[in-house]
Amino acid sequence: MSLVVIGSIAFDSVRTPFGTRERMLGGSAVHFALAASFFTDVRVVGPVGDDFGDAEYQVLRERGVETSDVERVEGGRTFFWAGEYGYDLNTRETLDTQLGVFGEFDPKLSDETRAADMLFLGNIQPDLQREVRRQCDGARLVGLDSMNLWIETARESLLAAAGEVDLLFLNDSEVRELMEEPNLVRAARRVMELGPRAVVAKQGEYGASLYTADRFFSLPAYPLETVRDPTGAGDCFAGGFMGYLASRDEGAADDDTELRRAMT
Amino acid sequence: MSLVVIGSIAFDSVRTPFGTRERMLGGSAVHFALAASFFTDVRVVGPVGDDFGDAEYQVLRERGVETSDVERVEGGRTFFWAGEYGYDLNTRETLDTQLGVFGEFDPKLSDETRAADMLFLGNIQPDLQREVRRQCDGARLVGLDSMNLWIETARESLLAAAGEVDLLFLNDSEVRELMEEPNLVRAARRVMELGPRAVVAKQGEYGASLYTADRFFSLPAYPLETVRDPTGAGDCFAGGFMGYLASRDEGAADDDTELRRAMT
C-alpha cells in the first residue's frame, strides 16, 4: 500500500558527549521515510530551501523514497534545528530553531499523495497536520506524532488532530501531559476516547508500550552499548511501524497481533 | 533455605498527589521481608526505638517473619523518613531523615543469623553492609541494594561492598552513576567485573533489566491504573526476587532462567 509522510525536512546540528556534527540531514519526515523504505514505497511531502542540494536528495532516492512532492522554495532556507544532549542522552536542550521555508508552508499535494492509502503526520504544527489529513481524505490508516512544544502552545489544535487519526505516537510523558493525567494507562485510554484506535507510548531507551481498546503490550528496547546520537529515533521507530503495516494485508492495523509485530 | 535481611526498619511520612500519611511502618528491611515471606522464611535484622510497638511487630509476625534479631533500644527513636512525590510519582524529594537508633547501630548477629544461607543487604550505609557480610561468611548467596546517597557520600565503601556480593540491585540511573558510565549495558558489565554475578537494574514504572555475564533480560512492569504510593516498591521487588530463589534448589542463582523467573 502507498505510504505518505509529511513532516519536517531539516538540517540538524547536534552536540552530544561524544562530539559535534553540523548541519546533518534530518527532520521527522526524513527519518521516518528512510526507516519505512525498508518495508514499502514511501512518498515524502515537505518544503526545503535552496540550500537543500543533490547530496540530500540522493540519500532519500538511494532508498527508493519518492521525492517529487518535496517542495523546493527558491531563495528559502531549509528548516534548521540545533540541540545538545546530556550525559545519559535521555535529556536534550534545543539551542536553536529556524523555521525557514516551514514558516509559510502551505501544502499543495499531488494527486498521487492525495490518493495515499496510509498517511503519517510527522511532528509539525497540528493545524498543518489537520490540513494534510483533510486533503488525504481517502487514507485508510493515519498515524500522528507530535511533541511537548505543541501540547504547550497549540493544545486544542493537537487534541482535534489526534481525534482525526487512527494511531497516535507520543513519548509517554507527552501522553500524560496531553491528557493532563499522570497515570499512563488512564491517559492512553482517554486518548482513545478522542478517536485513535491505538496509542503507542514511546519510552526512549526503555522501549515502547502499545495501548489498544482493552489490551496492553510493552516491548523493552534492544540494549545498545554504543549510542552516539538519538535524534530521530522516534521517527525511525514510527517509520518501521507504519512501513511494516503498509507491507501487510489491508486490515493489519485492526489486528492487535499485527500492531505488536509492527512495534517489534 | 534461610534468608536474612538487614536494612532499615522505619516510620515513613509520605505525601503524594493523592494524600498524606504520617508514620507508616516502612524501611527497606520491612518491605523486603514482607514480600519475601510469601516464598520463604525470613529473619529481619535491624534496630528500632521504644516507639516501635506491638502493632508494628505484629505486621511482621503475621507474615511469619522472624523478629528476634530486631534490636530494641530503650530510650531510642526508630529511624524516620519523610518524603514527597511529584505529580507522576517518578520523582521524590526527601523532606526529613532522622537516623535515630540507626546512628549508632552496631550489629550483633545471633548464631542463627550468622548461619544464614542467603543474605540481603538492604539500603544502609555500605560499611555497615560490609560488616554484616563479614559476619555472615557462610552465606552462599548475597544480594545488595543501595542508593544515590551512598554513591555520592561513600562511593569507595560502596564499590568495595558491591565487590563482595553476588547480586546487585540498583536503580538504572544509580548503576550509571556508580560506574560513572552513561551507557547502562557497559555500566552493568563494569559492575560485574567488580564481582557480582548479576546486576538487576530497577527502572521504576518501566520494569527492570537483568544483566548476567553474557546475557540480557528485560521485563516491563505490569501497568497499574491506580498507584497511591511507590515507597518501598524496589525493596518489595528485591524481596520477591530473593525469596523466590530461597524457595528453589541450591544452585538456582547460577541459572539464568531461574534469575529471570525470580525477576518475574
Q: What is the pLDDT of residue A30?
A: 98
Q: What is the pLDDT of residue A251?
A: 87
Q: What is the rounded (10 degree) CA torsion for B250, B251, B253, B255? A: -150
Distance to chain B for A27, nearest Cα, Å: 25
Distance to chain B for A120, nearest Cα, Å: 27
- What is the Cα–Cα distance from A238 to A221, expressed in whole angstroms? 14
| Alpha-carbon separation of residue B238 from B32, B92, B123, B141, B235 (angstroms) | 6, 20, 11, 13, 5
Burial class (CB in 10 A: 0-12, 13-18, 19+), A195: middle
Locate the chain B residue with the closest alpha carbon to A85.
B182
Cell of A157: 489544535
A77 Cβ contact partners less than 8 Å away, ≥ 6 residues apart: A49, A51, A98, A100, A101
Tally A–B CB contacts below 8 A.
54
Cell of B211: 544483566
Of the two residues B108 and B233, the one the predictor is more confident about is B233
Q: What is the pLDDT of residue A163?
A: 97
Dmax (CA) for chain B in angstroms is: 51
Q: What is the pLDDT of residue B67?
A: 96
Q: What is the pLDDT of residue B184?
A: 92
Average pLDDT over residues B222-248: 94
Distance to chain A for B249, nearest Cα, Å: 30
Structure ipTM:
0.80
Cβ A36 vs Cβ A262: under 8 Å: no
A223:B173 CB<8 A: no
Locate the chain B residue with the closest alpha carbon to A221.
B218
Q: What is the pLDDT of residue B92?
A: 84
- In this predicted structure, the answer to whether residue A24 has a pLDDT above a threshold of 90 is yes
| Percentage of chain A modeled with pLDDT above 90 | 84
Q: Which residues in chain B are contacts of A227 at CB distance < 8 A?
A: 183
Continuous H helices in B103-247: 111-114, 126-135, 148-153, 155-162, 172-179, 184-194, 233-246
| Alpha-carbon separation of residue B257 from B57, B253, B260 (angstroms) | 36, 9, 5
Q: What is the pLDDT of residue B169?
A: 98
- What is the Cα–Cα distance from B107 to B129, expressed in whole angstroms? 10
Cβ B133 vs Cβ B126: under 8 Å: no
Of the two residues A90 and B26, the one the predictor is more confident about is B26
Q: What is the pLDDT of residue B17?
A: 83
A166 Cβ contact partners less than 8 Å away, ≥ 6 residues apart: A141, A142, A143, A196, A197, A198, A253
B223:A173 CB<8 A: no
Q: Model confidence over B98-138: pLDDT tens digits?
A: 999 998 899 889 999 999 999 999 999 999 999 999 999 99
Confidence of residue B182 (pLDDT cuts 50, 70, 90): confident
A162 Cβ contact partners less than 8 Å away, ≥ 6 residues apart: A144, A146, A168, A178, A191, A194, A195, A196
Q: How far is CA B251 from the centre of its chain?
A: 22
- What is the Cα–Cα distance from A228 to A19, expressed in whole angstroms? 8
- Choose among B42, B17, B18, B25: nearest CA to B239: B42
Q: What is the pLDDT of residue B55?
A: 96
Q: Parallel, antiparallel, or unpaired for β A141-145 and A10-16?
A: unpaired
Q: What is the pLDDT of residue B89?
A: 75
- Residue whose C-alpha cell is 530551501: A49
Q: What is the pLDDT of residue B177?
A: 93
Helix (H) or strand (E) holding A234: helix A233-246
Locate the chain B residue with the closest alpha carbon to A174.
B88
B203:A207 CB<8 A: no
B17:A182 CB<8 A: yes
Confidence of residue B90 (pLDDT cuts 50, 70, 90): confident
Helix (H) or strand (E) holding A240: helix A233-246
- Long-range Cβ contact pairs of B129-134 (< 8 A, separation 24 or more): B129/B6, B129/B161, B130/B157, B130/B160, B130/B161, B130/B164, B131/B107, B132/B6, B132/B45, B132/B107, B133/B161, B133/B164, B133/B165
Q: Which residues in chain A are contacts of B184 at CB distance < 8 A?
A: 205, 223
Report the residue from B88, B176, B186 with minimal CB separation from A225: B186
Helix (H, G, I), strand (E, B) or coil at B140: coil
Report the residue from B87, B205, B216 with minimal CB separation from A223: B216
B264 Cβ contact partners less than 8 Å away, ≥ 6 residues apart: B219
Best residue in B90, B218, B225, B260 to probe A by mutation, most A CBs within 10 Å? B218
Count of beta carbons in the 10 Å neighbourhood of residue B248: 16
Distance to chain A for B220, nearest Cα, Å: 6
Locate the chain B residue with the closest alpha carbon to A175.
B88
- In this predicted structure, the answer to whether residue B224 has a pLDDT above a threshold of 80 is yes
Q: What is the pLDDT of residue B163?
A: 97
Say which DSSP state B66 is in.
B
Best residue in A174, A183, A205, A212 to probe B by mutation, most B CBs within 10 Å? A183
- In this predicted structure, the answer to whether residue A46 has a pLDDT above a threshold of 90 is yes
A225:B88 CB<8 A: no
Q: Which residues in chain A are contacts of B173 at CB distance < 8 A?
A: 88
- What is the Cα–Cα distance from B80 to B97, expressed in whole angstroms? 6
Q: Which residues in chain B are contacts of A218 at CB distance < 8 A?
A: 207, 220, 223
Q: Which residues of B touch A (CB under 8 A)?
A: 17, 87-89, 173, 176, 182-186, 203, 205-207, 209, 216, 218-220, 223-227
Best residue in B16, B18, B88 to probe A by mutation, most A CBs within 10 Å? B88
- Choose among A36, A252, A27: nearest CA to A122: A27
| Percentage of chain A modeled with pLDDT above 70 | 100
A89:B182 CB<8 A: yes
A216:B203 CB<8 A: no
Count of beta carbons in the 10 Å neighbourhood of residue A69: 17
> In whole numbers, what is the pLDDT of chain A averaged over residues?
94
A223:B225 CB<8 A: no
Which sign does the torsion angle of CA B64, B65, B69, B70 carry?
negative
B88:A205 CB<8 A: no
Q: What is the pLDDT of residue B214?
A: 87
DSSP3 helix / strand / coil % (chain B, rounded to 5): 35, 30, 35
pTM (two decimals): 0.88
B207:A216 CB<8 A: no
Distance to chain B for A94, nearest Cα, Å: 21
> In whole numbers, what is the pLDDT of chain B averaged over residues?
94
Geometric angle at alpha carbon B29, from B23 and B31, rounded to 5°: 65
- In this predicted structure, the answer to whether residue A225 has a pLDDT above a threshold of 90 is no
Q: What is the pLDDT of residue B131?
A: 95
- What is the Cα–Cα distance from A180 to B13, expressed in whole angstroms? 27
Confidence of residue B152 (pLDDT cuts 50, 70, 90): very high
- What is the Cα–Cα distance from B85 to B13, expressed in whole angstroms? 11
A223:B205 CB<8 A: no
Helix (H, G, I), strand (E, B) or coil at A85: strand
Helix (H) or strand (E) holding A194: helix A184-194
Q: Which residues of A touch B (CB under 8 A)?
A: 17, 87-89, 173, 176, 182-186, 203, 205-207, 209, 216, 218-220, 223-227
Report the residue from B186, B209, B225 with minimal CB separation from A186: B225
- Choose among A104, A261, A187, A48: nearest CA to B88: A187
Q: Which residues in chain A are contacts of B212 at CB distance < 8 A?
A: none
Q: Model confidence over B21-72: pLDDT tens digits?
A: 999 999 999 999 999 999 999 999 999 999 999 999 999 999 999 999 999 9
Helix (H) or strand (E) holding A117: none
Q: How far is CA A69 from the centre of its chain?
A: 17
Q: What is the pLDDT of residue B186?
A: 94
